[in-house]
Structure 1
Amino acid sequence: MSTPAISVRGLRKSFGATPVLDGIDLDVARGESLVIVGGSGTGKSVLLRCILGLMRADAGTIRLDGQDATGGAPEAFLRRFGMLFQGGALFDSLPVWRNVAFRLLHDGMPPNEARARAVAALAAVGLSGRVADLYPAELSGGMQKRAALARAIAARPSVLFFDEPTAGLDPILATVINRLIREQVTALGATAVTITHDLTTVRMVADRVALLHDGRLRWTGPVSAFETSDDPHVAQFITGRADGPIATLR
């Protein structure tokens, strides 16, 4: 079997006396789209930050393309990943094309070439070239999310991370963003990790699903088996019942 793009073993992270990740074992195959689901505060974002080296785990190992990344992602990997942040995280002071081409410009690509790449990335997510010279504040929320997705794919990465990609969007725009994510992941042949609590994102984006609760992965499997699983954690998450193994505020 080929080496996983991402491999996590025994990952633990606590904040004070509160454990957030409690021994996570997870592999993401090359070219696979994995969606990690769970309620708010279950550790999804912490897991993502540990994988990217933005946060140091207390214990365990992380390997990216077979290389030890426990102390931080290797430079070679960082040059090959793209990320869509939950809030978009566009720079207000830069026009859209410079936002999209930010990494390309940082890496020394000539501005005219970087702009052309940015316009192509914007077109790939359904935004016209006239958007390139606007500023983020001049865009609607849905357009800002598309521009952020364009930035994530502009460098043609081999690994993509999506942090709650449909947060704050209405159902129609959420469907548009999910479809664009699936299309771009397929077009790039990229490995993708998405964290969400949105079942529509699961259905449209995932090849495989992992459910995280109370610091542990409670279920992993193909998306085709997710909604028919008899696992009590999965069943409660899908139905939204208050009663079950996933503790809720009462």
Structure 2
Amino acid sequence: MIELRDVQKSFGALHVLQGVTLTVETGSSMVIIGGSGTGKSVILKCILGLLRPEAGSIRLDGTDMTRGDRDAFLARFGMLFQGGALFDSLPVWQNVAFRLLRGALKRPKAEAREIAIEKLRRVGLQPGVADKFPAELSGGMQKRVGLARAIAADPEIIFFDEPTTGLDPIMSGVINELIREIVTEMGATAITITHDMTSVRAIADDVAMLHDGQIKWSGPVADMDASGDPYLDQFIHGRAHGPIEAVR
């Protein structure tokens, strides 16, 4: 579904992506791991076209992502943002139905609300939450609202940016379980970026380790612990010593 070949992206003298090559199979759940500042979010932004690489290619379903109707291209995606990124001034249902109330996916208001309430139910929230504002919800509930928004338009591809950041272990487990269930039910292709190894093991089919602007290892999550790759081994076990230098 998604193919990156030798993708390079710099910001001035800072070379963030230095030849990233990665393939994400249709209907699979890929998790990209790596330290802070290694370029995980930059990969997502390049795929979405928010950033333009200086070199390399990115293909979606075999088609160059820089060609064709951009609105139609973006309509295939859903995204759960790291901090939730909910609009404080909008009630929950309008947050969930944001894409359904405008643009190419616009639906009648009553229909959009109905879809929003259905998606809220899917993530375990009662219809009464629909008319509340984000500030009235706990962090875990806000994250579920963000997940409901990500799936509101039934996208083919879903991005999850640090989906469990700021959540306690129990709520993190709930969110991981929801993500796995929803991706499987929808048959969606998913890319998640995270530091949380519990999330990796819960939601990944495949894992890619990003370091120094390159994919150091990629493969099935079942092969991760016995990979023999020193970068991956140090990261997943949280060791201070190894090829990845800790910033002090």
Bucket of the pairwise TM-score, normalised by the shorter protein:
over 0.9
SS in 2 for 1:60: strand
Correspondence for 2:61: 65
Correspondence for 1:13: 9
Contact 1:6/1:62 (<8 A) preserved: yes
Q: CA RMSD in A?
A: 1.2
Contact 1:232/1:244 (<8 A) preserved: yes
Over residues 168-205 of structure 1, what are the superposed CA-to-partner deviations in whole Å (9 max), with x where a residue is unaligned?
A: 11111111111100011011000000001110111011
Q: Aligned pair count?
A: 246
Q: Aligned equivalents of 1:159 and 1:108: distance in 2?
A: 19
Q: Residue 165 of structure 2 is aligned with which of 161, 164, 167?
A: 167
Alignment of 1:45-64 (within 5 A): 45-64=41-60
Q: Confirm or deny that 1:95 pairs with 2:91.
A: yes
Correspondence for 1:208: 206
Contact 1:233/1:244 (<8 A) preserved: yes
SS in 2 for 1:75: helix
Correspondence for 1:193: 191
Q: Aligned equivalents of 2:226 and 2:69: distance in 1?
A: 36
Poorly superposed stretches of 4+, deviation over 2 Å = 70-77
Q: Aligned equivalents of 2:196 and 2:142: distance in 1?
A: 20
Correspondence for 2:137: 139
Correspondence for 1:44: 40
Gap change, CA 1:12 and 1:70, over 3 Å in 2 = farther
TM-score for the superposition, normalised by structure 2:
0.96
Gap change, CA 1:193 and 1:159, over 3 Å in 2 = same
Over residues 95-116 of structure 1, what are the superposed CA-to-partner deviations in whole Å (9 max), with x where a residue is unaligned?
A: 0000001111113211111111
TM-score for the superposition, normalised by structure 1:
0.96
Gap change, CA 1:73 and 1:53, over 3 Å in 2 = farther
Q: Residue 124 of structure 2 is aligned with which of 111, 123, 126?
A: 126
SS in 2 for 1:63: strand
